[in-house]
Amino acid sequence: MKNKIITLVSAICFMLLLSENIFANVRYLRLAYRDDPSTTIVIGWSNDGTSTNAQVYYGDTDLGTAWDTYPNSHGIDTITSYRNLTNNFSRITGLTPNTIYYFVVKDDQGVSARYSFKTITDNPNDSLKFISGGDSRTGAPLIEPSDCRQRRQSGNMLVARIRPNFISFTGDCVFSENIIQVNQFWSDWFQDWTLTYGPDGRIAPVCVTFGNHEVTDDFRLLFDITNSDNHYALSFGGTLLRFYTLKSDENVSACDNAAQLSWFLDDLQTHTGNANEPFWKFVQYHIPMVPHGYYSPNQPQIDCWANNFQQYKIRLAMEGHTHVTKYTWPIIPSTDAGAEKGFIQDTINGTVYIGEGGWGAPLRTLYSPNGWTRDQGSFDAYQVVFVSKYRTEIKTAQFTNVSSVGQLTDSDPAWSLPSGISVWAPANGSTVVLTNPDVSGIETLHKMALNSRVYPNPATNTINIEFNTFTTDKKATVSIYNGMAKHMSSVAISDMSNTTKVNVSDLKSGAYFIYIKYGNTIDCHKIIITH
Ligand SMILES: [Fe+2]
Q: Each residue of 404-440: pLDDT tens digit?
A: 999 999 999 888 999 999 999 999 999 999 988 778 7
Cα–Cα distance measured from residue 385 to residue 397, given in angstroms and rounded to the nearest whole number: 10
Per-residue pLDDT band at 520 (split at 50, 70, 90): low
Q: Which of 218-232, 372-386, 510-524 has the highest mean pLDDT?
A: 372-386
Smallest Cα–Cα separation from 334: which of 326, 343, 325?
A: 343
Q: Where are the alpha helices (DSSP H) in 20-111?
A: none
Cα separation values, 371 from 264, 292, 317, 355, 380, Å: 30, 12, 18, 17, 24
How many CB atoms are closer than 10 A to CB 88?
25
Q: How far is the CA of 401 from the centre of ligand 1 (A)?
A: 26
Q: Would you give the distance in Å from CA 261 to the centre of its chain? A: 17
Q: Tell me: pLDDT of 531 over 90.
A: no
**Positive or negative, the Cα torsion across 46, 47, 49, 51?**
negative
Smallest Cα–Cα separation from 435: which of 279, 318, 247?
A: 279
Q: How far is the CA of 171 from the centre of ligand 1 (A)?
A: 7
Q: Tell me: pLDDT of 2 over 60.
A: no
Q: Tell me: pLDDT of 7 over 80.
A: no
At 512 the pLDDT is 82
At 482 the pLDDT is 75
Q: How far is the CA of 81 from the centre of ligand 1 (A)?
A: 25
Q: How far is the CA of 228 from the centre of ligand 1 (A)?
A: 19
Q: How far is the CA of 286 from the centre of ligand 1 (A)?
A: 7
Average pLDDT, rounded, for the chain: 91
Q: How far is the CA of 356 from the centre of ligand 1 (A)?
A: 9
Q: How far is the CA of 238 from the centre of ligand 1 (A)?
A: 32
Q: What is the pLDDT of residues 155-164, one digit of tens each?
A: 999 999 999 9
**CATH number for the domain formed by residue range(s) 450-529:** 2.60.40.3080
At 15 the pLDDT is 44
Measure the N-to-C terminal CA separation of the chain; round to a whole number of Å: 92
**Positive or negative, the Cα torsion across 445, 447, 451, 455?**
positive
Residues with CB under 5 Å of ion ligand 1 are 172, 211-212, 321
Taking domain 128-441, whether its CATH number is 3.60.21.10 is answered by yes
Q: How far is the CA of 321 from the centre of ligand 1 (A)?
A: 3
Cα–Cα distance measured from residue 363 to residue 358, given in angstroms and rounded to the nearest whole number: 7
**What is the DSSP-derived secondary structure letter of residue 351?**
B
Q: How far is the CA of 249 from the centre of ligand 1 (A)?
A: 10
How large is the average pLDDT for residues 92-119? 96
| Stretch(es) of the chain classified as CATH 3.60.21.10 | 128-441
Q: What is the pLDDT of residues 267-281, one digit of tens each?
A: 999 999 888 899 999
E-only strand ranges, 109-238: 110-111, 115-118, 128-133, 166-169, 206-208, 232-236
**Matching CATH number, 21-118, of 3.20.20.140, 3.30.70.270, 3.40.30.10, 2.60.40.380:** 2.60.40.380
Cis peptide before 356 (omega within 30 of 0): yes
Q: How far is the CA of 473 from the centre of ligand 1 (A)?
A: 55
| Stretch(es) of the chain classified as CATH 2.60.40.380 | 21-118
Q: How far is the CA of 172 from the centre of ligand 1 (A)?
A: 5
How large is the average pLDDT for residues 112-127? 95
Smallest Cα–Cα separation from 261: which of 242, 273, 248?
A: 248
| Stretch(es) of the chain classified as CATH 2.60.40.3080 | 450-529
Cα–Cα distance measured from residue 61 to residue 116, given in angstroms and rounded to the nearest whole number: 10
% of the chain with per-residue pLDDT over 70: 93
Q: Tell me: pLDDT of 329 over 50.
A: yes
Cα–Cα distance measured from residue 285 to residue 214, given in angstroms and rounded to the nearest whole number: 13
Q: Tell me: pLDDT of 521 over 80.
A: no
Q: Tell me: pLDDT of 4 over 60.
A: no
